[in-house]
Amino acid sequence: MNFVTASPDADFRTVLENGGILFFPPGEFSVPASVLDVLTGATQDARSIHKNIAYKTNADNVSGLAGGDSADRVREAMREYSKLALSFMARILPDYARGWKVDYSSFRSIEERGRALPLNKRNDLLHLDAFPTRPVFGDLILRCFTNVNPEQAREWLTSDPFAQFAGREAHHAGLEDYVRLARSPFHSLARGVKRAFRSAGLPVVDRSPYDAFMLHLHAWMKANGTYQENCPKYRFDLPPGSTWLVFTDVVPHAVLGGRLALEQTVIVSRSSLADPGRAPASILEKMTGADLTN
C-alpha cells in the first residue's frame, strides 16, 4: 500500500489514482483556532441518524447537531473550514478542481474506538465509500481529512486498492447481477421514470448499475467476515495536525480509533483523471464489457 508524503516533485494525481494515501505533515494545511473553538464546543447528537456533524456546502446547511447548540456559529465555522479545505485541494490538484463537484464536509467529534453503530454504519470495518442519496455515475469520491485532535493520532486501516480488490472479490460480491441490470431494457425505462419523478420534485434516487453495485459492495464488505479477516491490511497512525487525501471508493478503509477530525469531500470527474482507466467504474467495465454508468 502506497503511503506517500507529499513533495513538490510528486505526481499527486497518480498517487491518488493508484490507491495511495497522499499525506501532508502537520503545518501544511491548518484549521484556524477560531474555527476549532466553535466546533469542539459543539455537541454532536449521538442518538441522531447522522454519524457526524455534516455541512452541505452548496445548501449552506448543517445537520447532526444536538439541540441547544448555536447552529449559526457552527454553520459559520464549517463554512470557513470548507472554504479553506477546498482552496487547499484546488491548489494541489488543479486538474481535478476544474471539473469536480463539491460535496459535503463533516466534523467527526465522537471517539471511533468502541463506537456503537449498526453494522452498515460502522467505521471500524474495511469498506469502500458509496453514497445512498448521491450517485456518482462513474465519477470518484475524493476526501481530504485533517486530524484536529491536538494529542491523539487517528488510527486508520486500509487494504489493497480497487484494481486488486475487484480482481479478487467483485464476482463473489455479485457483479453479474449488475451487469444483467445494465443490459436489461427495463433499466433505461426505469431510469427515465425516475428522472421524471425527480423533476416533479419526488425524492427518488436515480442511480446507474455502477452506483447500485458500489452501494451493495459497501454493505457486502462490512458483512463479510472472511474478507475482513483475511484481506491484506495496512495500518497508519495519522498524527495530530496532519492532513491526508484519498479516493475512498478506490481504497478500502476503516477507522479504528481517534476523535476530532475534519473532512471535505469532492466528486472528481472520471474524465479529469490522469488515467481515466484507473477509475473503479472503468475497471469494472473492462472486466465485464458492460456499460455500467448509464
Q: Contact positions toward Fe ion, by CB under 5 A?
A: 129
Residue 153 burial (10 A CB sphere; 0-12, 13-18, 19+): middle
Residue 156 beta carbon to Fe ion: minimum distance, rounded to whole angstroms: 10
**C-beta of 39 vs 130, nearer to Fe ion:** 130
**C-beta of 221 vs 273, nearer to Fe ion:** 221
Residue 253 beta carbon to Fe ion: minimum distance, rounded to whole angstroms: 6
Closest CA to 79 of 33, 35, 43: 35
Cβ–Cβ < 8 Å for 256, 156: yes
**C-beta of 126 vs 182, nearer to Fe ion:** 126
Nearest position to Fe ion, beta carbon: 129
**C-beta of 35 vs 258, nearer to Fe ion:** 258
**C-beta of 31 vs 221, nearer to Fe ion:** 221
Cα angle at 100 between 10 and 281, to 5 degrees?
A: 85
Residue 149 beta carbon to Fe ion: minimum distance, rounded to whole angstroms: 18
Pairing relation of β-strands 253-257 and 53-56? Answer: unpaired
Local structure of 117: helix, strand or coil:
coil
Question: Which DSSP category does 65 fall into?
Answer: B
Pairing relation of β-strands 101-108 and 154-158? Answer: unpaired
Residue 128 beta carbon to Fe ion: minimum distance, rounded to whole angstroms: 8
Residue 237 beta carbon to Fe ion: minimum distance, rounded to whole angstroms: 18
Cβ–Cβ < 8 Å for 149, 255: no
How many C-beta atoms lie closer than 10 Å to residue 75's C-beta? 17
